[in-house]
């Protein structure tokens, strides 16, 4: 899932300073799961903004809304008529959600209430770790399902560097060496010899070198007569 965290409250308060009417919009998927932009977080932030602006002598109308997914038109389109009543929409969605709102409602100012961090998973209560950098060329079949791009600090494809000690990365004792994890996993699967094959240098053309990426599935496209 996409993992995000709230921006500092002072930064958010400054964003809405010039707006008289603000709609705080949450998202019911990824940022709800990581407790950053769900219904409870929207309510808490809206309440804090109301109180802060009242105490600051600039009381504002701060209302709330939560959609299932901010990254899809069908879920944000119903906000259109409602947004006409506000000077600013404060998105508690990921960066994709913020941009989707801005693209769909170009006449409305959209501000981000979260900092989008990475794609990861919850390793325990209240803690998330990065697992994927969306590099566009997955090698997980060769590394036992452990990503050397996201989890190795040097993004090495052919084994560990010389800095790891005792199964820990040289950048910090709390960071596992990704290649130790890969070796242990492949060994347990009886696939250790496959790690002896030398991987070529990473082709980053499928990552960010070519600008914003796009996937087009012809088998999912509408017939020409039904397209916009």
The model's pLDDT over 211-220, given as tens digits with 9 standing for 90+, comes to: 665 667 677 6
Whole-model pTM? 0.85
Same domain assignment for residues 105 and 6: yes
Number of domains in the chain: 2
The model's pLDDT over 98-130, given as tens digits with 9 standing for 90+, comes to: 999 999 999 999 999 999 999 999 888 888 999
What pLDDT shows up at residue 114? 96
What pLDDT shows up at residue 23? 98
Closest CA to 70 of 89, 97, 33: 97
Q: Is 114 inside a domain boundary?
A: yes
What pLDDT shows up at residue 226? 67
The model's pLDDT over 155-213, given as tens digits with 9 standing for 90+, comes to: 999 999 999 999 999 998 889 999 999 999 999 999 999 999 999 988 877 776 666 65
Identify the CATH number of the domain in which residue 103 sits. Answer: 3.40.50
DSSP 173: T
Q: Which of 70, 87, 118 is the last residue of a domain?
A: 118
Task: Note whether 95 and 119 are within 8 A (CB).
Answer: no
What pLDDT shows up at residue 16? 95
Q: Which of 118, 152, 181 is the last residue of a domain?
A: 118
Same domain assignment for residues 25 and 96: yes
The model's pLDDT over 46-102, given as tens digits with 9 standing for 90+, comes to: 999 999 999 989 899 999 999 999 999 999 999 999 999 999 999 999 999 999 999
Q: Is 150 inside a domain boundary?
A: yes
Same domain assignment for residues 88 and 172: no
What pLDDT shows up at residue 223? 80
Q: Domain range holding 54?
A: 2-118
Beta strand 21-27 with 61-67: parallel, antiparallel or unpaired?
A: parallel
What pLDDT shows up at residue 125? 87
What pLDDT shows up at residue 224? 74
| Dist. CA 195–CA 205, nearest whole Å | 24
């Amino acid at each position: 899932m996409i993992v995000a965290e709230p921006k500092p409250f002072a930064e958010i308060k400054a964003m809405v300073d010039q707006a008289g009417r603000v709609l705080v919009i949450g998202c019911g998927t990824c940022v709800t799961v990581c407790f950053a932009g769900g219904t409870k977080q929207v309510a808490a932030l809206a309440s804090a903004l109301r109180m802060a602006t009242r105490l600051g002598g600039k009381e504002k109308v701060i209302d709330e809304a939560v959609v299932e997914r901010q990254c899809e038109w069908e879920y944000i389109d119903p906000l259109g008529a409602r947004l006409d009543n506000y000077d600013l929409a404060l998105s508690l969605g990921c960066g994709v959600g913020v941009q989707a709102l801005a693209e769909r409602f170009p006449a409305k100012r959209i501000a981000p209430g979260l900092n989008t961090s990475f794609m990861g998973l919850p390793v325990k209560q209240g803690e998330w770790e990065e697992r994927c950098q969306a590099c566009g060329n997955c090698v997980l079949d060769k590394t036992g399902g452990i990503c050397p791009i996201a989890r190795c600090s040097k993004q090495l494809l052919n084994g560990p560097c010389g800095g790891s000690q005792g199964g820990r990365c040289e950048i910090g004792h709390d960071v596992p060496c990704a290649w130790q994890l890969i070796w242990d996993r492949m060994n347990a699967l009886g696939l250790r010899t496959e790690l002896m094959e030398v991987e070529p240098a990473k082709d980053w053309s499928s990552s960010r070198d070519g600008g914003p990426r796009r996937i087009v599935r012809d088998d999912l496209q509408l017939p020409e007569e039904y397209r916009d």
